[in-house]
């Protein structure tokens, strides 16, 4: 095996380095994301806190998917410019958007994330759980954080793999 980079003209090597730096930046974002899910999102265990995130929610009380029902179904609001109605479950971290006024949040949650442990509580508020039940739920949440971050990292590495492969093919042409 020889080091393919030896064949790369200096300019291309610089470009490559720039891209590596960008990946490093993403790694920092991963840390931030990890902190977000572990610390800030912890408060989303509580329905009242989730309800507060729906301040600019596009559906009012006349709709099935109103702030009240969304929070009750375990969701908190994570709007972006492209997805102003993006929401996330505090426990399974399933993200959903594209809501219709008649959509029932609980039914949608069940349909898209049937194994979510929150659904097994049948709407019982976290405040009424025993300490043991609460800790069990938090363990599930922590497991899901790890899975989510792992999945994001996997996708990131797959994208990098494709990029590097394309680069190598281009060089060997």
Least CB distance to Zn ion at residue 108 (A): 10
Taking the C-alpha atoms of residue 17 and residue 31, their distance in angstroms, rounded to an integer, is 21
Q: Could you tell me the smallest distance in angstroms from the CB atom of residue 31 to Zn ion?
A: 24
Rounded to whole angstroms, how far apart are CA atoms 91 and 72?
13
Cα 113 from Cα 105, distance rounded (Å): 12
Q: Which of 65, 71, 87, 89 binds Zn ion (CB under 5 A)?
A: 89
Taking the C-alpha atoms of residue 134 and residue 130, their distance in angstroms, rounded to an integer, is 6
Binding mask 107-146 for Zn ion (x = CB under 5 A): ------x--x-x----------------------------
User: Least distance from C-beta 130 to Zn ion, angstroms?
Assistant: 21
Note the helical H segments in the chain. 10-38, 47-52, 67-72, 105-112, 117-120, 131-172
Nearer to Zn ion, 57 or 93 (CB): 93
Closer to Zn ion by Cβ: residue 33 or 160: 33
Tell the residue number behind the tokens 């049948």, with chain if given: 122
57 C-beta neighbours (distance < 10 Å), count: 20
Instruction: State which residue, 116 or 145, has the beta carbon closest to Zn ion.
Output: 116
Nearer to Zn ion, 92 or 137 (CB): 92
170, two tokens: 């281009």
Residue 2, SS3 per DSSP: coil
How far apart are CB 47 and Zn ion at their closest, in Å? 14
C-beta of 138 vs 156, nearer to Zn ion: 138
Contact letters (x/-) for Zn ion, 60-79, by CB under 5 A? --------------------
Give the residues lining the site for Zn ion (CB under 5 A). Answer: 89, 91-92, 113, 116, 118
């Amino acid at each position: 095996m020889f080091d393919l980079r030896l064949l790369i003209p200096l300019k291309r090597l610089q470009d490559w380095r720039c891209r590596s730096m960008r990946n490093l930046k993403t790694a920092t974002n991963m840390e931030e994301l990890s902190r977000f899910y572990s610390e800030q999102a912890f408060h989303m265990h509580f329905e009242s806190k989730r309800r507060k995130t729906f301040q600019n929610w596009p559906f009012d009380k006349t709709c099935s998917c109103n702030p009240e029902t969304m929070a009750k179904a375990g969701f908190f609001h994570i709007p972006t410019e492209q997805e102003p109605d993006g929401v996330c479950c505090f426990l399974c971290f399933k993200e959903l958007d594209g809501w219709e006024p008649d959509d029932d949040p609980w039914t949608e949650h069940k349909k898209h994330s049937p194994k979510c442990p929150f659904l097994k509580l049948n709407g019982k508020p976290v405040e009424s759980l025993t300490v043991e039940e609460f800790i069990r739920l938090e363990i599930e949440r922590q497991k899901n954080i790890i899975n989510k971050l792992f999945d994001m990292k996997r996708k990131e590495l797959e994208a990098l793999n494709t990029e590097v492969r394309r680069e190598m093919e281009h060089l060997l042409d």
